Structure 1
Amino acid sequence: MINKIFTTMVALCATFVYMPAHAQSQAANLPAQSRAAEDSVKAAVNLLFTGMIQSDPTLIRQSFTDSAILQSIFEKDGTTVARLESVDDFARAISRMGKGDADERIRIDVLRIDGPLATVWAPYSFYYKGKLNHCGVDSFQMLLVNGVWKIQYLIDTRRKQPCQ
């Protein structure tokens, strides 16, 4: 009995040691993502910010899949909270602003693509009516839908300071 337990534990440990190494070697064998694919993901992300600065709810909605999820992370009473918002509510709120009022400036630090899935990590600064309002990081999960990249999941952090 003890011998069976020992053998099972050794097998499990070997599996956990082998799996990450195997996954890394598989990842190294993947073809490099194409510049065209990267550019199309960036264009899809930028469509959202074009819609924001133009106060255009149609462009904003076009940026997202039909089942998209939007969340913002912030601190409330010392606790980290993730607030959920619908795409329609977000688009409606932006559309009530004047053109140029909602100016979110991003820098894409990480962009990874695997088939129909892309991940984008983008620090940002949000300016409202020309004044820095807050900053943070946008994390996008993108989905290739009928040949067009769309935002499936967007979660962001928000803070007043420190902003650069």
Structure 2
Amino acid sequence: MKYILLVGMMLLSFRISAQNIEEKQVLEVVNRVFEAMRKSDSTMLKSCFTENAATYTLFRNPAGEPQLRAGALQRFIDAVGNPKEDVWNEPIWNEKVQIDGPLAAVWVDYAFYLNDQFLHCGVDAFQLAETSEGWKIFHLADTRRKSDCEIPEEVRKKYE
């Protein structure tokens, strides 16, 4: 009986370890997006996405009505790569990762700062596919708002 319990616990620990490795690999891709933004590195950014990745932004207009705006991945890549003096800082927290085979979803809270100036906050929702080149983002949606932002104190202290 002890042997069966020991083997069961070992198998469970291997599965948890494999899941943790996959979660780290998925989060590495997400974190590379923000590193590319900080560095204005369009090549690094492009490497995080599949060729036909979709991007969307959701927000409320001044009348409070929900809006959905489709983006263009290439426009985002070009904007990141354009030479600029300002640094795009987008710290994230509360990372939630879910994986089922070759599909992963990542949900993170964020705040966006231009240099040290707060512009907006929200949630980034990534969907990734496992490819022969590793995990790649095929869908990115974000929300944006300027109020009701619960930014952790350590983030505020770093950027504000």
**Secondary structure of 1:34 counterpart:** helix
Determine whether 1:104 maps to 2:90: yes
> Under a length normalisation based on structure 2, what TM-score does the superposition of the two structures give?
0.78
User: Which residue, out of 38, 42, 66, partners 2:23?
Assistant: 38
TM-score calculated relative to the size of structure 1? 0.76
Amino acid at match of 1:107: W
Of the three residues 73, 82, 86, the one matched with 2:68 is 82
Letter in 2 for 1:153: H
Paired residue type of 2:19? S
1:64 to 43, 49, 55: 49
User: 1:144/1:158 Cα in 2 relative to 1: closer, same or farther (>3 Å)?
Assistant: same
Structure 2 distance, partners of 1:130, 1:103, is 8
Q: Is the 8 A contact 1:52 1:102 kept in 2?
A: yes
Q: Does 1:125 align with 2:111?
A: yes
Partner in structure 2 of residue 145 of structure 1? 131
CA RMSD of aligned residues (A): 1.6
Q: Secondary structure at the match of 1:92?
A: helix
Q: Could you tell me which runs of 5 or more consecutive residues in structure 2 were left unpaired when the two chains were aligned.
A: 1-14, 152-160
Q: After the TM superposition, which parts of structure 1 deviate over 3 Å for at least 4 consecutive aligned residues?
A: none
Q: Unaligned 5+ residue runs, structure 1?
A: 1-30
- Cα separation, partners in 2 of 1:156 and 1:97, compared to 1, 3 Å: farther
Deviation of 1:53 (Å): 0.3
- Where 1:161 maps in the other structure, the secondary structure is coil
Q: In 1, distance between residues paired with 2:133 and 2:99?
A: 14
1:114-135 per-position Cα deviation (integer Å, ceiling 9, x unaligned): 1100011100011112111100
Q: Distance in 2 between matches of 1:38 and 1:115?
A: 12
**Bigger radius of gyration:** 1
Question: Following TM superposition, by how much is the alpha carbon of 1:78 offset from its aligned partner in structure 2, in angstroms?
Answer: 2.8
Number of residue-to-residue matches in the alignment: 134
The structure-2 alpha-carbon separation of the partners of 1:85 and 1:119, relative to structure 1 and needing over 3 Å to count, comes to same
CA shift at 1:100, angstroms?
Answer: 5.9
